[in-house]
Structure 1
Amino acid sequence: MKRKIRVIGCPMDLGQTRRGVDMGASAIRYAGLVEELEHLGYEVNDIGDIYVAPRSKDQDGVNEKLKNLPQVHNTCVLLAEAVNQAVQSNSFPLVLGGDHSIAIGTLAGLARHYSNLGVIWFDAHGDLNTAETSPSGNIHGMSLAVSLGYGHPSLTELYGAYPKVKKENIVIIGARSLDEGEKELIFEQGIKVFTMQEIDRMGMPRVMEETIAYLAHTDGIHLSLDLDGLDPSHAPGVGTPVIGGLTYRESHLALEMLAEANIVKSAEFVEVNPILDERNKTAITAVELIQSLMGKSLKPQPVFAEQVNN
């Protein structure tokens, strides 16, 4: 009996203003995602893309600090339902973005199934802004705050009760660009963050060991990986590149350790922007990282319990 993965594309670029990230899911597929996962022994069901409404041409005074709010809300509801159905079918939900605002929908769908959901947030940014603290009004910088219950009700209450995740169940890895309001929220709520400075000092193996131990009490862990968590030299095609990020090898090591721990129940890979990329380099990197998360290794592959029982 093969392990099942359901691929869900969410080509939304409404959470920010730079165009091109809506083509990220297609770029990742073009880089051979489904074929590589099938080669690892998975049964892959790619259900295609969630419908995304056109962006607003004009912003009213209320929504200028929450750009494209109705469209982001509607898209995230559809994504939440798709993720919910994937979990119901005993499949691993693998969501392809799109900008990081799609995490609002992903986590909302997962919250239907996990009462103590853990989240590992690989990102150069905290995405912990609200309309009051955001310098841009871009919702992709608010997605984690929304999932914690901070923000506009149409987002925090999306697809059911909130918060979708508890503050003690979050680990941010790779942060190196935090706004002042985000720093305050992190300090006030005691959110676990490993900045690039701490990763440089501690080393990725220790960071991941501490992350896995910190989230051991959760009943399921979701990986939300923004490709801008990597240094632009390894992932040039992202919406908001920030120099000084994770190396290619550090990123693979982190995901390999998660695969060995066998604790990740869902994942999303976001912010691939083919317009800014170099020969699809970032999408190819995304596929390679997904393979590491899903167990690709030089070691002999283990025999899974489902196969033994059948």
Structure 2
Amino acid sequence: METGPHYNYYKNRELSIILAPFSGGQGKLGVEKGPKYMLKHGLQTSIEELGWSTELEPSMDEAQFVGKLKMEKDSTTGGSSVMTNGIKAKRADLVGEATKLVYNSVSKVVQADRFPLTLGGDHSIAIGTVSAVLDKYPDAGLLWIDAHADINTIESTPSGNLHGCPVSFLMGLNKDVPHCPESLKWVPGNLSPKKIAYIGLRDVDAGEKKILKELGIAAFSMYHVDKYGINAVIEMAMKAVHPDTNGEGPIMCSYDVDGVDPLYIPATGTPVRGGLTLREGLFLVERLAESGNLIALDIVECNPDLAIHDIHVSNTISAGCAIARCALGETLL
């Protein structure tokens, strides 16, 4: 019997690490350093030790984007913000530019039949990653691991930070909104609400709750994890995105590390207590690896600059690397 992950989709075990060091989807610099820190922690070598051949695929110039962000922050004109109903969709031009670059890089990887592991950066980069994966696998299901739903539209967002809006762009919910940023009109917006399931939710805005209910999106909060257990929730999520095949079919996982409780992963931009334990967070991707259905993985929102102590940096980066290793087949025995 063949063992190991991804044997249904990636028998060649070839993988590309896409670097997406972008922080413009939110207001805190430092999250662009996450990919570099994960590589310094030995992530690429540890993936190769699992039997994968790897290559690096940079998607953008980190220094260039940080420079643009600093210039915009210092600007008195508001830069590329777009005003809608009194709320600014902040740094819209930069988010559009960055996510298109990520889209191009991930498209190159998936079209070459390599597994895309994308390291963010903030969660706005998933606009690019998910769009590219859906081009290759239009029937793919998306598991969104996060404390937050990230499905605000540019009309409902209370903060204007676009890392809280990627799912609404992926679903095309902003296309008919007045003043939708021109820079993000490239997004296909073809993610079906029947093809996404959330795990780990515990901080959902009122506007997001309305969208989730109206569209009937599968959403498993920490209440469900506590009630049913993490394995049952994963099974329910996989069946929700592939109901006709009992959960079997291509699955992409977009993993915000704040889905895990900040006790374990403290250096992240929007921590919310009461989340997944580290073991639950790792079991989740171990189970996806075991299923053989995982076709792409994002790991986002590691921000070493927000650590209070060096141990917080170490804990956060090592946990992010562990998520990747477990998703790619690492087992205890």
TM-score, normalization: structure 2?
A: 0.85
Q: Give the CA RMSD over aligned residues.
A: 1.7
| Mapping for residues 1-310 of structure 1, pairs under 5 Å | 2-51=12-61, 53=65, 54-55=68-69, 56-57=72-73, 58=75, 59=78, 62-63=82-83, 65-151=88-174, 152=180, 154=182, 157-159=185-187, 161-163=188-190, 165-216=191-242, 217=244, 220-277=250-307, 278-299=312-333
- Quote the Cα distance in structure 1 between the aligned partners of 2:303 and 2:255: 14
Q: 1:141-177 CA deviation, whole Å, 9 max, x = no partner?
A: 0011110111236466425x332x1100000000000
CA distance in 2, matches of 1:154, 1:116: 28
Question: Is the contact between residue 104 and residue 155 of structure 1 (CA under 8 Å) also seen in structure 2?
Answer: no
SS in 1 for 2:204: coil
Contact 2:200 2:221 in 1 (8 A): yes
After superposition, the C-alpha distances for 1:185-225 in whole angstroms (9 at most, x for unaligned) are 00000000000011111100110111222223585221000
Q: Output the amino acid matched with 2:49.
A: H
Report if the CA contact (8 A) 1:146-1:155 is conserved: no
SS at match of 1:47: strand
Q: Corresponding residue for 2:5?
A: none
Letter in 2 for 1:181: G
C-alpha separation in 1, matches of 2:113 and 2:240: 26
Deviation sequence 1:257-304 (CA, Å, 0-9, x none): 1111011100100000001231421111011111111111134xxxxx
Give SS of 2:194's match. Answer: helix
**SS class of match (1:80):** helix
CA distances 1:69-99 after superposition (whole Å, capped 9, x unpaired): 1111011111101000001111100100000
Mapped partners of 1:262, 1:219: distance in 2: 9
Please list every run of 5 or more consecutive structure 1 residues that lacks an aligned counterpart in the other structure. Answer: 300-310
SS across alignment from 1:228: helix
Once residues 99 and 38 of structure 2 are traced to their aligned partners in structure 1, the CA distance between those partners, rounded to angstroms, is: 20
Higher deviation after alignment, 207-216 or 237-246: 207-216
- Paired with 2:183 and 2:280, the residues of 1 have a C-alpha distance of 33
- CA-to-aligned-CA distance 1:12-61 (integer Å, 9 cap, x gap): 11000012111111111111110110110100101235235312233167
| Separation (CA, whole Å) in 1 of partners of 2:329 and 2:129 | 22
Partner of 1:305: none
- Letter matched to residue 162 of structure 2: I
The code of the aligned residue for 2:267 comes to G
Relative to structure 1, is the Cα distance of residues 155 and 209 closer, same or farther in structure 2, using a 3 angstrom cutoff? farther
| Amino acid of the structure 2 residue aligned with 1:12 | F
Identity of aligned residues (%): 34
Q: Which runs of 4+ in 1 moved over 6 A?
A: none
Which deviations, in whole Å up to 9, do the C-alpha atoms of 1:114-148 show, x marking residues without a partner? 22221000000000111211111000000111101
CA distance in 1, matches of 2:254, 2:61: 21
| Shift in CA distance, 205/155, structure 1 to aligned 2, threshold 3 Å | farther
Letter in 1 for 2:17: V
Instruction: Give the length in aligned residue pairs.
Output: 297
So what's the TM-score if we normalise by structure 1?
Answer: 0.91
Q: Which amino acid aligns with 2:221?
A: T
Query: CA 1:155–1:251 in structure 2 vs 1: closer, same or farther (change >3 Å)?
Result: farther
Give, as a single letter, the amino acid of the residue that structure 2 aligns with 1:280: S
For 1:33 and 1:46, the matched residues in 2 are separated by: 11
- The amino acid that maps onto 2:92 is L
